[in-house]
Amino acid sequence: MARPSDLQAPRGTRDFYPEDLRLRSWLFAHFREVSRRFGFEEVDAPVVEHAELFTRKAGEEIVEQLYHWEMHDRHLALRPEMTPSIARMVMARAGALRLPLRWFTVTQNWRYERMTRGRKREHFQWNMDVWGEPGVGAEAELLAAIFALLERVGLGGGQVRIQLNSRALLEETLRAGVLRERPEAFEPLCVIVDKLAKIGADAVVEQLRDPAGAVRLSADEARDVVGLLGVTGLDDAAAAAPPGSHAVAELRRLFELLAAYGVADRVDFDASVVRGLAYYTGVVFEAYDADRKLRAVCGGGRYDRLLETLGGPRIPAVGFGFGDVVIAELLADHGLLPALARGLDDVVCALGEAQRPAAIALAQRLRASGRSVELVLGDTRPKRVLADADKAGAARVWLLGPDEAARGVVRVRELATGAERDEALS
Ligand code: HAM
């Protein structure tokens, strides 16, 4: 027999009761509508993939959090994110796809997280990715789409800001300096410095110095790297970058484009944003609530070399993942979670078994016209039926008793007004 704990959803996972699913569907409908308006097409992939698709050696949390198992000589995993699966799909048709392509997904992802507010072990993510476009015009479209979503759900008034940086900027500076001899240390370095806000500067310096680690800087070098992350203005970053920096020019161009979308005032340059995933190569960004009470609402960036690392051709790519959990917390905090009715239109009830065939015919006719119709199956006492219909938010109740049936009519009650009338049955 199952233990009581086995009968609960595993920690960090969720059951979606009707009211929860209504909310989820509402959010997903907004994800899909924004994607549609930006000209993106929806794709999907299996939730189970070969584990090798996700295992990378840069020390990323996401790899340590993988749900994985061996089965029939296969090493399989639940996807922790969508990007590698999308890369796999692009690679399989690389020669045949018209670039740039714009794909979006709304999928469930699994990560064995240490749980805190806004972090679960399964979450849904909306991803939008552009493949085959090297210019920051793609980044600008994606950031505009994020703001479009925020506006649709009532968070268009500056409650969420985007912090943005370029890994290329950091890479240019480090390759001209401390990583001149060891460019391969850049990815693990990013994974470490991404933890700055979480573990603090001293711990980051420690990890960057670790003689057994992949980066192995001296204490001074490690402190210099942390110093670079403290730069807040783009002008200061430009001053610290090598002369003629391509990354700085791209960032300036991106801010110009964001101004054209009317969203530049909600985007900040922040050199401490590097992201914890190894594959990013260029612009990286994260969206946060303005009070910084919650974890990132979404995050993304450019990953021009991912396809190559998987053995495919070099195709530039950029995208973001936007989770369902943090946004729901934020909407709740702002009192913006919508009260979503069930959407039931009619309740049809035969008061006696003899009237059931006529009630079925009526329900089917209403359903065929597109209405949402509940046919009462059990207790047909009118008082109970009316109370239940009212609670379910139905507009009308159709009662069919022996008297009505004899007269070829049905009694219709409008629940909003209580008005009743007879209507012909056919
Ligand atoms: P990520 O930053 O790991 O990026 O996740 C993106 C978003 O998914 C987060 O900002 C958060 O909203 C949500 N999320 C992630 N993990 C959890 C969790 N355990 N519980 C609740 N929500 C979570 C990526 O996954 C990249 N693949 C995004 C991307 C797409 N980059 C380029 N294209």
Domain 15-333 CATH class label = alpha beta
Q: What are the residue boundaries of the structural domains of the chain, listed by start?
A: 15-333, 346-424
**Atom in ligand 1 nearest the alpha carbon of residue 297:** 12
The H or E element that residue 249 is part of is: helix 246-261
pLDDT band at 426 (very low <50, low <70, confident <90, very high): confident
For the CA atoms of 107, 108, 113, 119, what is the dihedral angle to 10 degrees? 70
Q: How far apart are CA 264 and CA 252, in angstroms?
A: 11
Please compute the mean of the pLDDT values over residues 299-320 and round it to a whole number.
97
Beta strands in 28-184 (DSSP E): 41-42, 48-50, 68-71, 74-78, 101-110, 122-131, 160-166
Sign of the dihedral through C-alpha 35, 41, 42, 44: negative
Beta bridge partners of 163: 268, 286
pLDDT band at 256 (very low <50, low <70, confident <90, very high): very high
Q: Separation of 127 CA from ligand 1 center, angstroms?
A: 9
In 3-state terms the chain splits into helix, strand, coil percentages (rounded to 5) of: 40, 20, 40
User: Helix axis angle, 186-193 relative to 201-209, nearest 10°?
Assistant: 160
pLDDT band at 283 (very low <50, low <70, confident <90, very high): very high
State the average pLDDT for the chain.
Answer: 95
Q: Separation of 296 CA from ligand 1 center, angstroms?
A: 8
Q: In this structure, which residue's CA is closest to atom 30 in ligand 1?
A: 320
**Atom in ligand 1 nearest the alpha carbon of residue 129:** 33
Task: Quote the pLDDT of residue 4.
Answer: 81
Please compute the mean of the pLDDT values over residues 397-408 and round it to a whole number.
96
SS3 state at 89: helix
Task: Quote the pLDDT of residue 177.
Answer: 87
Task: Quote the pLDDT of residue 379.
Answer: 84
Pocket of ligand 1 (CB under 6 A): 81-83, 111, 113, 119-120, 123, 125, 127, 129, 277, 296-301, 303, 319-323, 325-326
**Whether residue 325 has pLDDT greater than 90:** yes
Task: Quote the pLDDT of residue 110.
Answer: 98
Say which CATH topology domain 346-424 has: Rossmann fold (3.40.50)
Q: Separation of 123 CA from ligand 1 center, angstroms?
A: 9
Task: Quote the pLDDT of residue 232.
Answer: 81
The H or E element that residue 200 is part of is: none
Q: Separation of 217 CA from ligand 1 center, angstroms?
A: 29
Q: How far apart are CA 160 and CA 163, in angstroms?
A: 10
Q: In this structure, which residue's CA is closest to atom 26 in ligand 1?
A: 321
Give this prediction's pTM: 0.96
pLDDT band at 6 (very low <50, low <70, confident <90, very high): confident
Task: Quote the pLDDT of residue 380.
Answer: 87
Q: In this structure, which residue's CA is closest to atom 2 in ligand 1?
A: 299
Q: In this structure, which residue's CA is closest to atom 25 in ligand 1?
A: 81
**Atom in ligand 1 nearest the alpha carbon of residue 118:** 21
**Whether residue 302 has pLDDT greater than 90:** yes
Q: What is the tens place of the pLDDT at every residue in 339-351?
A: 999 999 999 999 9
Q: What is the tens place of the pLDDT at every residue in 48-98?
A: 999 999 999 999 999 999 999 999 999 999 999 999 999 999 999 999 999
Q: Specify the DSSP class assigned to residue 143.
A: H
pLDDT band at 18 (very low <50, low <70, confident <90, very high): very high
